[in-house]
Amino acid sequence: MNWDETGPDTAADPRLVDSSADGEDQAVEAALRPKDLEEFVGQEKVREQLDLVLRAARARGATADHVLLSGAPGLGKTTLSMIIAAEMGAPIRITSGPAIQHAGDLAAILSSLQEGEVLFLDEIHRMSRPAEEMLYMAMEDFRVDVIVGKGPGATAIPLELPPFTLVGATTRAGLLPPPLRDRFGFTGHMEFYEPSELERVIHRSARLLDVEIGADGAAEIAGRSRGTPRIANRLLRRVRDYAQVKTDGGIIDKDVANAALKVYEVDPRGLDRLDRAVLGALLKLFGGGPVGLSTLAVAVGEERETVEEVAEPFLVREGLLARTPRGRVATPAAWAHLGLVPPQQGSGKAGQPGLFGT
Ligand SMILES: Nc1ncnc2c1ncn2[C@@H]1O[C@H](COP(=O)(O)OP(=O)(O)OP(=O)(O)O)[C@@H](O)[C@H]1O
């Protein structure tokens, strides 16, 4: 198969393999979200542990303990928070760290919660410091002190809160200050999904979208979904479009999925045009490295941050690229993936330290 690795228009924006949600995702995701723990695919450990936490709380007639969910975007944190509310028969309020810039914003939300309500706080690590400190007391004592006035005349008015369950979500649990982390009764770490789990997600979504898909078609999409259900669902929708136009709505099999994803430039391992441009430049222009990030970014016509934050994490996770103190280095798997042969040791450019800037 002929995949183009370099070229001037390397920016694939918006990217089909980006794990954050775009407008179309948000509209469709509501329909595709599993409604209970039973329907939620994979994450066996988190599911089992959470099931115990929720059952025990229900048996006691109590509000469930606060839950922290950590993991990359698109792995199901929002979905799980909704499931927690559904399993507890409680309403849910959804907000996010960046939306709460002042302690007063948080006080307004907390004071309007109903008893037992689930408060889902996405990107909890991005909350402002004063709001975070208010949250400590709210989580522990179901109370907040609302400060009225300024300077020496300021007074704290205590406000009792109904018991509630905070579900915090973060992409990086390590960024949370320990006092906040410690106030969660349960922490679930969401892992990337196995291809077989993504196949189940795809079959389920296909049923809901009324799309006919074969086992080999689902496997083909799953393998390119970067371990992420959101990407699996998005690729399924694009393959469905292709099948609708090119095969008159025929069944999605391996060949259809393959041909569709070639059009969308998502390769068999889930790399898109930007990923392949970065990898292609590293191998073809710099002999596999080491090469500095800035040099690599110029070579693909992208910003340094785009290469570092958008392309590299997946390439590193896939074991195709390594970040070393001397610069970016391609692994043997990278050469194999692009069907190229690494230069012989000593005869080529590869492995010569400091040759390609920083
Ligand atoms: N375990 C799962 N089983 C089936 N579908 C899933 C699962 N996890 C996620 N999904 C689907 O993937 C999509 C994205 O999930 P969700 O919005 O919960 O991710 P998230 O981790 O909250 O992402 P973000 O951090 O960007 O908010 C949803 O449409 C949901 O239906």
pLDDT at 115: 94
Average per-residue pLDDT for the chain:
88
Residue 22 has pLDDT above 80, yes or no: no
Q: What architecture is domain 43-189?
A: 3-Layer(aba) Sandwich (3.40)
Break the chain into its structural domains and give their ranges.
1-13+271-358, 43-189, 195-263
pLDDT digits (tens, 9 = 90+) for 278-334: 999 999 999 998 999 999 999 999 999 999 988 999 999 999 999 999 999 999 999
Q: What architecture is domain 1-13+271-358?
A: Orthogonal Bundle (1.10)
Which among 32, 33, 83, 125 is the best mutation to test ligand 1's pocket, defined by most ligand atoms within 8 Å of the CB? Answer: 33
Average the pLDDT over 82-98 and give the result. Answer: 95
Nearest CA to ligand 1 atom 23: 74
Choosing among 1.10.3660.10, 3.40.50.620, 1.10.8.60, 1.10.1740.10, the CATH entry for 195-263 is: 1.10.8.60
Residue 234 is a catalytic residue: no
**More confident site: 31 or 288:** 288
pLDDT at 117: 96
Q: What percent of the chain is predicted at pLDDT more than 90? A: 72
**Alpha-carbon Rg of the chain, whole angstroms?**
24
Amino acid, res. 145: D
Reported residue count of the chain is 358
Residue 18 is a catalytic residue: no
Q: Is 165 labelled as part of a ligand binding site?
A: no
pLDDT at 19: 76
Measured from the CB, is residue 205 less than 6 Å from ligand 1? no
pLDDT at 342: 87
Ligand 1 atom nearest 69 alpha carbon:
21
pLDDT at 332: 94
Q: Is 78 labelled as part of a ligand binding site?
A: yes
Cis ω before 290 (30° cut-off from 0)? yes
User: What ipTM was assigned to the predicted interfaces of this complex?
Assistant: 0.96
